[in-house]
Amino acid sequence: QNSDKPAYLAHLNPAQLEAAEALDGAVLILAGAGTGKTATLTARLAHLIATRRAWPNQILAVTFTNKAAREMKERVAQITNGAVDNMPWLGTFHSVCARMLRRHAELVGLQNNFTIIDTDDQLRLLKQLMEAERIDVKRWPARQMAGLIDKWKNKGLTPDLIDAADAEGFADGKAPKLYADYQARLRAVNACDFGDLLLHMLTIFKKHGDVLEEWRKRFRYVLVDEYQDTNASQYEWLKLLAAPENNICCVGDDDQSIYSWRGADVTNILRFERDFPGAKIVRLEQNYRSTGHILAAASGVIANNSGRLGKTLWTEAGDGEKVRVLGVWDGPEEARRVGEEIENHISKGGSLNDIAILVRAQHQTREFEERFISIGIDYQIIGGFRFYERAEIRDAIAYLRLVNQPADDLAFDRVVNQPKRGLGDKAVATIHQYARAADLPLLLAAAQMLDSDELQARARNSLGRFVADIARWRGKIAELSPSELMQLIVEEAGYTAMLQADKSAEAQGRLENLSELARAMEEYDTLESFLEHVSLVMDTDRDADGERVTIMTIHAAKGLEFPIVFCAGWEEGLFPSQRSLDEGGQASLEEERRLAYVAITRARQKAHILHAANRRIYGQWTSSIPSRFVDELPEEHIESDATMSGGESLWRAQFSAQDDPFAHVARPASRGPGFQRAVAQKAAASTRTRSAGPADVKSSAVSLGNKGRDDLTLGM
């Protein structure tokens, strides 16, 4: 394409080249998915180094994940033939700020060997402070306070800047004081939390002009990927560092802003031109990732959002295959059909690495995992744990194991103080000693210790309740189904209550995982057979560098691409999520729609969208209707297949109509009324997004469209 250019620029199209070569001043690349924003940013980085505009350590480059940072480093190493193998200031906001803060810790009252605490520590600390203030932590959960603090930190607000109005009436107005106490306490123990990494650097920059000056001199160029997901304090930090030359290049897509729940503020994109006068705005319009139908389907969905900046997107890759919309009977059938498609792909010589399954919520992975294990498809879960490795699932299973087998000491250790029942490390250590001396399993030792005074009265009391609980649950093994028993245990152990008291989205996810576990257990008649299944599932060894399917949430898939993508569970209440429907109004619905756009645009050659007519939620069958996003897919770019083949006919074969508990459930029509509405809307409104469909496909296609990321750096 640009044969007169060095290899690392030669493959760029004119708009990309313009952005990569415009080294001085502010540049904003504002473009849709798959248009090569990240590729252009990387080429620009290479260009800066190759032309000696800056040494690698004079470039600040921020990416959204560590994985993205690693990939960019690898690409630069490749481009420079290994000459550049270290980019110290290429990383996430957190990692870069942590590194900076180590050098200036004393300016915010820390030593440079400060510890970075995690969420658990953060909550424990807050709880102590709240109890000291005599705040009822049942009414005002520590988690909610942590959320407020994060929110303030995301806005760059230190305790002195908080006024009562910001505190949302939390704990009768005590939140600002708690925030101040919390910061003081962290300082006293030489620690900071994630939000502090950036906030402390902002504070330092504002108070110590000389330090800011030093960093401004160092960073001659600033590069930012996934700019649409930066929050206010990140933006301020970037602005401070880029001044006065403002050699800053940000790339982003307003349609892919999916982290507003973490304080990301898409209006940063709109402010860019005002904050950096004379900024060059580059728009990339050619999509190199996906084929025509995929792109058009994604564009059709996102066109339903209001207040977009609007973009043109086209591809030379040809129409490709239509997006396949598949309606299935239930979750297991969904997993089965995906499994079949994967086997099909493999039998034609394809690789498991080509495939990603994208889910909206973590608990959706289980059905796929079990299916893949049973048919021998290797898989990995990105940005999360395998279902049976999640903490709450392991806890529930540990309870079951202990009930089933009182000598299971590992299980005992896991749950004896989970949820917290006042049996701290010291009490547990005493039980261990006693058990060793008496050569007894821990649970038996604990039972014996109830009659001794080895433990303090309080510990003895709660241990007594624990031992009695286990015995009682054990008595129910014959009476209850494994699933019922599990639900009874998490309820009576206070485990569910612990999660319910915790108002975070994460706790919500854990509760969903537990009901998913209950669902999974319904297939087993005896506790033993279920536990055996679990040990087999946990034991599947993974071939470390073999090929595998990737399962992940849409959030984790940002910036990535796969030849084949399965988008699972497109049903109202699952996607868009119930939460977004219940609380958020239009804004959160639009964020869900952006997620739908991100999901579809991960696909290069083939996108499948699945929805099930029935889901078992909290042990109850509920009928679900297809997501409104399914209805919003433009008809000419999809092929629907809602014949619910396998599942329903199997079901019918096994049960007479009389037994059918869903006889009353309306079978989903393949296209709901929403679809008609969408078609009408589409006809009426001329969408700002030029349809990327077949009409736009140029016949003179240069065969670049289907090349993978890696082709970009080949031979450089």
Instruction: Please state the residue numbers annotated as binding site.
Output: 31-38
Single residue of 19, 20, 36, 415 touching ligand ATP by CB under 6 A: 36
Of 464 and 563, nearer to ligand ATP (C-beta) is: 563
Burial class for 491, CB neighbours closer than 10 Å (0-12, 13-18, 19+)? exposed
Instruction: Return the number of the residue (183 or 287) whose C-beta is nearest Mg ion.
Output: 287
Contact 647, 333 (CB under 8 A): yes
Determine, following the binding rule CB under 6 A, whether residue 690 of this chain makes contact with ligand ATP.
no
Hey, what are 116's tokens?
């970075």
Rg (CA), the chain: 28
Nearer to ligand ATP, 75 or 510 (CB): 75
Helix (H) or strand (E) holding 468: helix 457-475
Which of the following is catalytic: 44, 390, 602, 604? 602
Tokens linked to 514: 């537990």
Question: Considering only residues 13, 16, 38, 713, which one is a binding residue for Mg ion as defined by CB under 5 A?
Answer: 38
Local structure of 406: helix, strand or coil: coil
Count of residues making up the chain: 716
Spatial CA neighbour of 36 closest among 312, 286, 292? 286
CA of residue 484 relative to chain centroid, distance:
31
User: Which member of 8, 9, 15, 16 binds ligand ATP (CB under 6 A)?
Assistant: 16
Whether 256 is a known active-site residue: answer: yes
- Indicate if 38 belongs to the active site: yes
Select the span of 37-45, 200-208, 450-458, 667-675 touching ligand ATP (CB under 6 A): 37-45
- 292 touches ligand ATP (CB under 6 A): no
C-alpha distances in angstroms, 426 versus 15, 429, 432? 65, 5, 10
Residues in 55-74 that interact with ligand ATP by CB under 6 A: none
Among the listed residues 37, 174, 363, 421, the single contact to ligand ATP using CB under 6 A: 37
Using CB under 5 A as the binding rule, whether residue 156 contacts Mg ion is answered as no
> Which contiguous run of DSSP H or E holds residue 127?
helix 119-132
The window from 108-116, 586-594, 605-613, 703-711 that contacts ligand ATP (CB under 6 A) reads 703-711
Q: Is 602 a catalytic residue?
A: yes
The entry of ligand ATP, Mg ion, none that residue 11 binds, CB within 5 to 8 Å by partner kind: ligand ATP
Question: What DSSP letter does each residue of 333-397 carry, written as one string?
Answer: HHHHHHHHHHHHHHHTT--GGGEEEEESSGGGHHHHHHHHHHHT--EEEETS--GGGSHHHHHHH
Nearer to ligand ATP, 12 or 612 (CB): 12
Q: Does 35 bind ligand ATP (CB under 6 A)?
A: yes
Structure tokens at 203: 């504070």
Q: Which residues in the 531-590 window bind ligand ATP by CB under 6 A?
A: 559, 561
Binding-site entries for ATP: 31-38
191 binds ligand ATP (CB under 6 A): no
Site for Mg ion in 546-605 (CB under 5 A): 559
Piece in contact with ligand ATP (CB under 6 A), picked from 31-39, 54-62, 421-429, 618-626 = 31-39
- Any contact of residue 78 with Mg ion (CB under 5 A)? no
List the strands of the sheet with 27-30, edge to edge: 90-91, 59-62, 221-224, 248-252, 27-30, 280-282
Is there binding between residue 709 and ligand ATP (CB under 6 A)? yes
One-letter amino acid at 710 equals: D
User: Is-contact 285 617, C-beta < 8 A?
Assistant: no
Name the active-site residue from 225, 254, 265, 408: 225
> Is 226 an annotated catalytic residue?
yes
CB closer to ligand ATP out of 288 and 466: 288
Helices (H) and strands (E) in the chain, counts: 29, 18
Residues designated as active site: 37-38, 225-226, 256, 602
Kindly list the residues in this chain that would bind ligand ATP in the complex (CB under 6 A). Answer: 11-13, 16, 33-39, 253, 256, 288-289, 559, 561, 704, 707-709, 712
Kindly list the residues in this chain that would bind Mg ion in the complex (CB under 5 A). Answer: 37-38, 559
